[in-house]
Chains A and B, each alone.
Chain A
Amino acid sequence: MNQELLTVKNLKKYYPITGGVLGKEVGQVKAVDDVTFSIRRGETFGLVGESGSGKSTTGRSLLRLIEPTSGEVWFDGKQVTSLKKDELRPLRRDMQIVFQDPFASLNPRHTVAKILEEPLQVHNIGTPAERRKKVEQMLEIVGLNSYHAQRYPHQFSGGQRQRIGIARALMLNPKLIVADEPVSALDVSIQSQVLNLMQDLQRDFGLTYLFIAHDLSVVRHISDRVGVMYLGRLVELAPSEQLYEKPLHPYTQALLSAVPDPDPDNRRERIILQGELPSPANPPSGCTFHTRCPHAMDICRTVRPEFRDIGGDHFTACHLYNE
């Protein structure tokens, strides 16, 4: 059996910018630009980056909820990107998604029972009685009660709804769950509960997570390896501890220095980035980070740094580490 559950090769998603009366294409927004990584069985792969860096687009492209422009996604030995719509359907059982907004991701007109039963109905799994039983079991597993099944989403709190969202993703016994900022819409006190639940579930069901977030401390808590995205590209990828102890890419360094420290006496140097995130419709030449990079050199303005292994499972795309 292959060690890698999911492999993403040169994934790109460009959105056309249309203008004029005839809707001619006048440019492209490179939401995801040449992203390559792989996720191992049973691990949690964290994907971080600021808003607009393309992390959600990456997550949804590899489930083909968004059609990628180009690139390959291999899941469990099958090439997801080449499958037809109907061929994709059975594969959906193995890869699921948990959404950020627990208020928007549940149909307000459906009861919890209906929401959770639907995945089973769609894939013709079990008899109605078996399905109902599975729904009740799943509610207990995610920390709710079986009698909650008859209620509507609006009768739950945000944390409870997120548990329902997780339960829905689990109904099909998936191998991979893409968690698209699953806790960023929740109160801090609830965040840890949901994170702990997700970790318990990972252990019990042998799940693999792609965990998308912008909160670095959340990602550190849960991830085995972390990828950092900037302007549609991966700039650094390393095992979690290594990334947090010894970040290499100047962007990662700046990002980590912005994480609040609970100790007020601990004075650290903060790296304050200048300027705004450049527009992905018109990214800077060479290394896309050179406009804000404190270590920018001449080469950074012209040559795009290669994303490469610099030893110890640590990848980065930066000219500082070429020799």
Chain B
Amino acid sequence: MAQVETQTVVQSKEKVSSPWRDAWKVLRKNKAAVIGFIIILFFIAIALLAPFITDYKYDEGVLTDKNKPPSAEHWFGTDYNGRDVFTRVVYGAQLSLWVGFFSVIGSIIVGTFFGLLAGYYGRWIDMLISRIFDIMLAFPSILLAIAIVAILGPSLQNALLAISIINVPTYGRLVRSRVLSLKEEEYVTAARAIGMKDSRILFRHILPNSLAPIIVTGTLGIATAIIEAASLGFLGLGAQAPEPEWGKMLADSRQYIQKAPWTVIYPGLSIMLTVLGFNLIGDGLRDALDPRMKN
């Protein structure tokens, strides 16, 4: 008897379809999202394997070889300092992905924390947090980022911090609105009836059910953050020479755009592709995680 029971348990375990697993199945069937994944995995791979992919150094050039067109030696040509553009694009992937991931993770952590507080406790806490978010959102975000970097001093780290700060309200509001609707759910009332503490309700019931929109917005947010980092770099407020950040490369090479277009095309193309990749994944995730899309 006992044996039979354990068998059925094992069998039913295989059939279990958890909400996350279901979403993954939907995502795998989405061609655009799969392409997005491939693009991003490709960029992650070259970022991680940069030293093995290229023999050149990103910050050392041969001045006699400056602005050379693409060739077998220099796949993407060389820039105005005679540095290998391919090498710089490859190392640039490290910087852009780093900024993209970590600024978004920072925004999500801080935004989620304040969003949970505002949504769950309401009253004056909500009032205070929401008004601060409103004020931050009232500024054009890149202007706010410029202001923050101007205060902290231009560097890639500070650009990351600035991008992280300006995006906090996006996640904060998102989480707050989710919490507002979720805390009225009956399973949350049930949790309170059981005698559960607020913190456990927040982290066991409300947060897990808010994760789907956070993940979607976060994925799309990585794309935005990469563009913002590139913009700050382009304005000279992000990465500093000789860091091979893509936006900075665009800014430095823009005066040679006619003489040596490859110095601009390849970093620009890289920005475009990574942003496209994250957007494709984000859209796919939205479709996969949206409960209304379930059949």
Contact = CB atoms under 8 A, between A and B. Distances in A.
A8 to B, nearest CB: 17
B42 interface: no
A107 B189 contact: no
B9 A150 contact: yes
Interface stretch (A115-123, A191-199, A250-258, A278-286): A115-123
A123 B209 CA distance: 23
Contacts of B12: 147-148, 150-151
Interface in B213-252: none
B185 A96 contact: no
Interface in B155-188: 185-187
B213 to A, nearest CB: 14
Interface in B31-87: none
A88 interface: yes
A148 B187 CA distance: 19
Nearest to A100: B186
A230 interface: no
Interface string A110-148: 010000001100110000000000000000000001111
A96 B194 CA distance: 7
A106 B191 CA distance: 10
A168 to B, nearest CB: 7
Interface in A68-121: 88-90, 92-93, 96-97, 99, 101, 104-109, 111, 118-119
A152 B19 CA distance: 9
Interface residues of B, number: 26
B200 A151 contact: no
B190 interface: yes
A105 B200 contact: no
Given A99-B186, A105-B190, A122-B200, A147 B16 contact: no
A65 interface: yes
Interface string B187-202: 1011111111100100
A97 B190 CA distance: 7
B196 A63 contact: no
B8 interface: yes
A296 interface: no
B16 A89 contact: no
Contacts of A119: 194-195
B196 A118 contact: yes
20 contacts: A65-B189, A96-B193, A96-B194, A99-B186, A99-B189, A99-B190, A104-B185, A104-B186, A106-B187, A106-B190, A109-B209, A111-B18, A118-B196, A146-B9, A150-B12, A150-B16, A151-B12, A152-B16, A152-B17, A155-B17
Given A107-B205, A147-B9, A148-B12, 15 more contacts: A88-B195, A89-B195, A92-B193, A105-B190, A111-B18, A118-B191, A118-B196, A119-B194, A123-B195, A147-B5, A147-B8, A150-B16, A151-B12, A151-B16, A172-B194
Interface of A: 60, 63, 65, 88-90, 92-93, 96-97, 99, 101, 104-109, 111, 118-119, 122-123, 145-148, 150-152, 155, 165, 168, 172
Interface of B: 5, 8-9, 12-13, 16-19, 185-187, 189-197, 200, 204-205, 208-209
Top 10 closest pairs, chain A to chain B, by CB: A92-B195, A105-B186, A104-B186, A89-B195, A107-B187, A119-B194, A147-B8, A97-B193, A147-B12, A99-B186
